Amino acid sequence: MALVIITASSPLVQNQTLVSSSQIFELGFFTPKGSAKQYIGIWYKKLTPSRVVWVANRDKPLGHTDQSASLIIGEDGNLKLLDGRQNTVWSPNVMAKSNYSEALLSDFGNFVLQDRNANIMWESFDEPTDTLLPNMKIGVNVKTGKKLNLTSWKGEDDPSFGSFVMGVTSEKPPQLFTWNGSSPYWRSGQWEKTKFIGIPTMTNTYYDIRQDNIQGTSYFYLNNYNNSIFGYTFISSEGSVKLAFWANGWLTSWKAPAPTNPCEIYGVCGPFGFCNPFGSPMCRCLKGFKPRSDEEWNRGNWTRGCLREMELNCQKPASAAASTTVEKDMFWQMRQIKLPDSADYLLIDNVEGCQSQCLENCSCLAFSYVNAIGCMAWSKDLLDTQQFSTDGEDLFIRLVDASVGADTGRFRKMTIPRLLRSEEPLRETSWKEQMKEDDASKLIVYDFDSIRLATDNFNVENKLGQGGFGPVYKGKLNNGKEIAAKRLSSSSGQGIAEFKNEILLISKLQHRNLVRLLGFCIEGEEKILVYEYLPNKSLDTFLFDSREKAKLSWGVRFHIIQGVARGLLYLHRDSCLRVIHRDLKVSNILLDEKMNPKISDFGLSRMFEGTQVLVNTHKVVGTFGYMSPEYAMGGIFSEKSDVYSFGVLLLEIISGKKNTSLDYPGQHLNLVAYAWHLWCEGRGLDLIDEAIADAFSVLEVTRCIQLGLLCTQDHAADRPNILAVVLMLNGESILSQPKQPTYTFSRLLAHEVQSQEGSIRSMNTITITTVEGR
């Protein structure tokens, strides 16, 4: 028998469970497989195999034969777990605010004790066990000393406190750690506002850290991506941190330390050593350092690390400085690095100042400047440093070098040998030759000076927009032709691979609804793509501007929707290649002088081969709010991934609102959820943008709303393919009824999400590994 609430008159007894309102989570008595003990716990109700996410009496189990145990509300208003002899085994021991209280289970898996006015007195989210659920937090409050950590089970059949603990540091920037007892076991690297820089394969779609320096708090959240609650992070009894989600079974999408990478074990190469998982041996000393013990090093025992070979110039005694000309120290640059632990954060907003500050302080051993963080310096041993094959940051290590002399304004830019599978340096000559070999010779290779002249030295007045990969400028060449030049920022997420991908891909694609690439420029550090100039810029400059959106009549909007669909049909079915765009969004739809849409930005696109239907990728890239669930959570993309993005775009065009806005009436979490709510109530037309509410086709708008909901179905199999989309848009095919998305379970879900602050909308990578249970 199931309860929906526990009260003083309605306790939870054996063979009963407490169920959340939407039947998602269940609380009750359970016995782990192979155990002879009973516990009160919470698990997913309908997912098989079941997964316990919280345990009350971890270290005070009940006997398996104790069939008289119960969970009650006592006379003092407290929750109490009683054994068969009516002894209290477990209780949160809160100070009751009234004589009446009740306990219920939310659809987020939060077990709550509240008074008659629904004021929360205690909640299980404040006492986590080994699992972090969406909208739950772990972290630390420095002022109160309170820590919310995950602690592993002792074993597969034993929920009692294990050896491994996962938590957040209070430093700036904060880091995730797991400890084995009191010893660090694994470290995430520093948080840079959207991701941990020490985890290049981890997507920022899922996580957020919120730090309040005034309150002294640092909290780590598992985001409720797409408002789906079927996912969690937990720490295993062996010390592995795992991110799992449900896709007809529990899939582990990320795991740390990775079993194939011994470099992820904290400090494996000791102080002033760095780890290269592809190296032999995997541990080496940093430049300017040598093994502390050659004998130990040769035996593969690296934990004592390395020591400096030569004393720094700044450390030489004053007597030596008086008798000789003391040279300045220099910095050795290492690229693609997991930065060491124990950084000091400095309030300096440029790399030059960061270098100067470190150089003037003799105790400063290294520094790094990360755009999203700022200046970090190290005065302690450089520990837990790792070489990455992609991503990572630049680390500048202080060394002695007499050849540098007094010139301290430049870095000595030396790069350690590149690793297996890393990208080759960008060389103009080799690139131009490769373009010819790859049949891109019809593109013009521009010299940098001609583009600089065309854009008036990239004058801000010529700036058309700012993308994630850099600014776009309007220009006019000497022959009078107008162009749009996308100048890739050196700090952008688009690397050489994406730059090359866009050039080679667009050069082979020609369609009226695709932007046309004219050529490119590669000179030194400059990487520039030159496109046809489209005078009306991008769709978002009209759609999300209250003053401009009226220019988009329903006729124009429907024309844009149809054009984008035709462009996708060409990419998916009709071109010489089968292409998945992977970043379809409003800002990537450009408009010509007649408001014809053109799909742009193919840097993240991928080609399909033959009859290939699904692809697994180790890099999930795109924009939060447009990514399909199976792609964002599992790295699986297909034509249906673009269809999902098209559905979001379609609803945005109808409503004139962003999917990721948080201001929808009725506590709806995003545009898709709001559209579904209106559709179910028969008020679909209320979605339409007020700017065009006086003149539109009821039939076309209704059809487009229904199609938008079909395209954004949770499961790819429930979405139409792009050919069906085109037929439905033209009224040549009957539309089926959309299914309810998982993110609209109840108002309670919306209420709990709104109680959390902020959101994350960005891009990164994720690694897909194996299918696993606990």
Which residues, listed in sequence order, are joined to residue 44 by a DSSP beta bridge? 25
d(CA 625, CA 619): 17
Is the distance from CB of 131 to CB of 232 less than 8 angstroms?
A: yes
d(CA 282, CA 431): 33
The closest of 185, 225, 189, 188 to 205, measured between CA atoms, is: 225
If residue 675 lies in a helix (H) or strand (E), which one and from where to where?
A: helix 671-680
The token pair at 183 is 């010893």
372 CB contacts (<8 Å, ≥6 apart)? 192, 193, 194
Peptide bond into 49 cis (omega under 30): yes
Q: Distance of CA 346 to CAs 192, 214, 371, 377, 411, Å? A: 14, 18, 13, 7, 19
Torsion of CA 656, 659, 663, 668, to 10 degrees: 120
Peptide bond into 159 cis (omega under 30): no
SS3 string, 359-422, reads: HHCCCCCEEEEECCCEEEEECCCCCCEEECCCCCEEEEEEECCHHHCCCCCCCECCCCCCCCCC
Is the distance from CB of 506 to CB of 499 less than 8 angstroms?
A: no
Categorise residue 372: left if φ over 0, alpha if ψ from -120 to 50, beta otherwise.
alpha
The token pair at 157 is 């059949």
d(CA 448, CA 457): 10
283 CB contacts (<8 Å, ≥6 apart)? 268, 269, 270, 273, 274, 275, 276, 297, 302
Peptide bond into 281 cis (omega under 30): yes
Is the distance from CB of 708 to CB of 673 less than 8 angstroms?
A: no
Is the distance from CB of 373 to CB of 173 less than 8 angstroms?
A: yes
Q: Which of these is catalytic: 208, 341, 384, 583?
A: 583
Q: Distance of CA 99 to CAs 102, 112, 179, 300, Å? A: 10, 16, 42, 65
Identify whether 686 is a catalytic site residue. Answer: no
The closest of 79, 210, 237, 235 to 149, measured between CA atoms, is: 235
Is the distance from CB of 499 to CB of 529 less than 8 angstroms?
A: yes
DSSP structural state of residue 206:
S
Q: Distance of CA 703 to CAs 483, 618, 651, 728, 732, Å? A: 37, 36, 11, 8, 12
Q: Is 352 helix (H, G, I), strand (E, B) or coil?
A: helix
Pairing between β-strand 17-19 and β-strand 12-13 as defined by DSSP bridges: unpaired
At residue 254, what is the residue type? W
The closest of 700, 657, 674 to 562, measured between CA atoms, is: 700
Cβ-based neighbour number of residue 491 at 10 Å: 10
CA 20 and chain centroid, separation: 29
Is the distance from CB of 19 to CB of 4 less than 8 angstroms?
A: yes
If residue 565 lies in a helix (H) or strand (E), which one and from where to where?
A: helix 554-569
Catalytic residue IDs = 583
